[in-house]
Structure 1
Amino acid sequence: MTIAARTVPYFSQFASPDLVPELIARTRAAEDDPRWAESGASSPQEYAWWCRRVCGMACLRMVLVHWRGEAPGTVELALECVTAGAYVVDGERVEGLIYAPFAAYVRERWGLAATVETALEPDQVRAHLDAGRLPMLSVHPSIRTLDPAPTAQGGHLVLAVGHDDEALYVNNPSGFAGSQHYARVPWPDLPRFFARRGVVLSDPR
């Protein structure tokens, strides 16, 4: 499969993709992100509370713009997912993204097909991409730098958008410059980050 066309758009979970290193390192407060309103949040404080938690919403936003031409902001999507039970807010804690209610929300709200996967192997990811589906994959966030020794697998969602014989290509909502849009992850590197679970999305229209 060729990935040259790069037809799936990119959105960061942070409103300013160029500020991701500073926001991740907390050398810049999220409240000071000048583009915070693009998230659909009602205030910089609401944006700051959600922005580190909405990797899945950034993936969904990419999918919606790709297949539907437009999408709400990440915080707006997150609030819809709270109502749908895909996020459970308990004080300062958030449980989620919870895959089953998220998949139901995607089907009912957006008319997309969504399948929860709990034992997803790399060749199945390739097959989904070849069939025109877009898998959201649970990976460790250090995939952004291809960390040689991540502390775990999973914990962060990226969108698989293409592949070739040597590598998977992902849109990473918390990627740094060079590891955001169609970021290359060599197949031998993927298993140390990948928890083999996620949600596979497709457009039945």
Structure 2
Amino acid sequence: MKISDQTTRLQYIAKYPIQDLFSVPIEDFLEVHLFQKGEYICEELMVPERLYFVAEGRVKLYVIHQDGNVSLAQYYEAGDILGELEFLGIRTQSQSIQAVEASVCLALSFHEHRELILSDAVFLRNLSKLIAEKMLRSVSKLVATQSYPLENRMAAYLIEKEEEVGRGNWIRVSLTDLAQYLGASYRHLSRVIKRFDEEGWIERERGRMRVRSYKALEAKASQMQIE
């Protein structure tokens, strides 16, 4: 949902300032979009028409392959940028972007403001850094998927989520999405989670789990640190 009320729009822009990424003034044409859990930011076969800056929440990106199969490629959170390759005129593989939870994005229209933004050397430098950081995360995930057992990858995921939600809090998770994200089968992931539960490392309920032994999971996760 695009925020139309100017007072509300300005409140969001003041709360999530991104002007430091630019040397040109952008507040006047920044849009604010609110997405509910499950709502699509970009659906299959649609080409993004905006540059999105994730201000709050969490979204996931699916890649649609030529044979029709769908893979969960990455999660994005506050501070991430979406649609940057399309903004630069690079055609990408068909994909969908969906909100995992209620999310807030600031947005700039490609068609209305592309030339102004492309003339901003400060923004292009910052954009290069953001793209590089995304690439490094993708490479690290690929290396981990190919090089380490699922138990290590699952432990690292839980440690990361535990730090996000706070020690002892529940971590909401879709096992179907998580299996795709970790590059594993649903059955294999279920076996690993069952073992973690039996070892007393986690507590699980339907649709969520909670870390009980941070030390044990941290030891597992530390085995896959990349030098």
TM-score class, shorter: under 0.3
* Higher RCO (C-alpha under 8 Å, 6+ residues apart): 1
Which structure shows the higher helix fraction? 2
Structure showing greater radius of gyration is 2
Using structure 1 for the length normalisation, give the TM-score. Answer: 0.26
